[in-house]
Amino acid sequence: MAIQDKTRTIPGGIAETQINPYAMMLQQLDMVREQTDIPAGIWEILRRPERALEVSVPVTRDDGTIEVFTGYRVQYSSARGPCKGGIRFHPGVTADEVKALAGWMTWKCAVVNIPYGGGKGGVICDPTRLSRGELERLTRRYTVAIFPLIGMRRDVPAPDVNTNSQTMNWIVDTAGLLSGEAVPGIVTGKSLELGGALGRREATGRGVMVAALGVLQRLGMDVTKTRVAVQGFGNVGSISAQLLAQCGARITGISDVSGAFHCPRGFEIDDVLRYVATSPGHLLAGYNGRGVEEIKSDEVLTLDVDMLIPAALEAQITARNAQDIRAKIIVEGANGPTTPEADLILGERDVIIVPDILANAGGVVCSYFEWVQNIQCFPWEEEETNQRLAQILQRSLNEVWTLAEKRGISLRLAAFVLGVERVASAIQLRGIFP
């Protein structure tokens, strides 16, 4: 399957160029195949999701009208454990996007060696056009539609783009009412009062920070002399920026969907966070700190920095802009932000890329911790969560780095090889039923 660029119009009349993420993920798998001796039949299993569900989600709007949304839930693999993956509410959601994200979750959980498979869900909608009541009704109806698939031993959703702890609270409540019993472990990313884990909100950004510091250490680079640009200032990007700034890094570029900003002397990240906390839509638009200049949105990717953290959506770094990237280190906070073509271009320029399935795995690792605590009915202290998170990610980075050096391949290819081989091994050990 070839990757294709195509222009489409998403709800709201916005024209965008879309790269097929599922084709992108399959192309990455094809590159992995050259590095392994996995049997052909097992490869056919690895290239397909176990189950893909499309649902209609009718919602009564506040004005009494009914609007029907389309939702998806994909279970890519359960060979290593229950499927695990977030739910996103976004106008650009497609079936292929959800399949790709579920696949990436499969390899991600295997890379960090936690007992999960991969899943993902999404609803095609623009949350900014929905009231809180409409969002609640959408979430609960979507939960009803996917309820036959999810369960704490089958498929465990979590927050993703435009969803949060409140979304998970609605899901766990709806699922509990449908099942007639308490089911806190059916989702992760809940509020603390409903069984959420301390440190979960910061976990993905903290994992990006751990990966970034690990690479800097291996390259002998001083974090206090490192300039960093962050694309996407949502939960992952903002926390990554905050934690790296606390370690002494200089954050010189930030952006979100509302705009991009450059500050050569380094942003005062706490000031930016205070602004975003009260700005319309919690966006960067209108920020005017000391020494800050507004730039074009795509320029944040090509700033003169040492490290780039793409933490927005997939397919942001492509063959069209890869030559213009000046960062020598890319730590992927988003899922699939770099296309295979861009990977090749950046690899020829010796740019080091810490891939998404390793760099942003902090969220799913902490979700695993939350799930374990729900099963045991025994909460942990935040310090214990952060320590265990750092240990797992440091070990995983070391395994990927060692494999990359041993085989003379990129970190991305090494991470995929490690993850895919672990999933393939689980499939072979289980055998094919019947």
Catalytic residue ranges: 120
| Distance separating alpha carbons of residues 16 and 19, to the nearest angstrom | 10
Quick count: other Cβ atoms within 10 Å of Cβ 344?
A: 13
| Distance separating alpha carbons of residues 415 and 187, to the nearest angstrom | 26
Q: Can you list the pairs that 273-282 forms with residues at least 24 positions away whose Cβ atoms lie under 8 Å?
A: 273/238, 273/242, 276/233, 276/238, 281/128
Block residue for tokens 């009541």: 133
DSSP state of 292: -
Helix (H) or strand (E) run with residue 417 in it: helix 411-430
Block residue for tokens 């097992």: 42
Nearest C-alpha neighbor of 363 from the set 185, 126, 205? 205
At 235, list the tokens: 């939960």
Contact 189, 168 (CB under 8 A): yes
Block residue for tokens 């966006």: 283
Residues 6+ apart with CB under 8 A from 189: 86, 158, 159, 164, 165, 168, 196, 200, 367, 370
SS3 360: coil
Nearest C-alpha neighbor of 119 from the set 146, 140, 141? 146
Omega before residue 434 within 30° of 0, cis: yes
At 242, list the tokens: 């905050």
